[in-house]
Amino acid sequence: MPTSIITTDDLREFKMELLDDIKTILSKQTSGTLKRYLKSSEVMEMLQISPGTLQNLRINGTLPYSKMGGIIYYDSEDIQKVMNDSRVHHSYE
């Protein structure tokens, strides 16, 4: 396996590309251009949960969903609402 040398210029260029990608993602999120309806795989990736956990959230009614043609869709606003409603507040005395 050949060895390649990474220079500080390479790292600087990578950093700039990464920052541009992050800015693009954040601007999409704040401008509301994210998809309204998400598939199960997208929800699992976004929330970092397993298929079983997602199924449990559906079964116990925590996360509303729609099913069309065998595909389950989740409203991104419902996901945000569930996350906000599940927020834990600690009071420090």
pLDDT by position in tens, the chain (length 93): 678 898 999 899 999 999 888 888 777 766 555 678 999 999 999 889 999 999 999 999 999 999 999 999 999 889 988 888 888 877 776
H helix intervals, 32-90: 40-47, 51-59, 76-85
Question: What tokens appear for 81 in the block?
Answer: 């609402």
Rounded to 5°, angle at Cα 60 from 59 and 64: 75
Q: Hey, how many other C-beta atoms are within 10 angstroms of the C-beta on 74?
A: 24
DSSP 50: -
Contacts of 78 (CB under 8 A, 6+ apart): 63, 64
Contacts of 85 (CB under 8 A, 6+ apart): none
β-sheet bridge partners, residue 71: 68
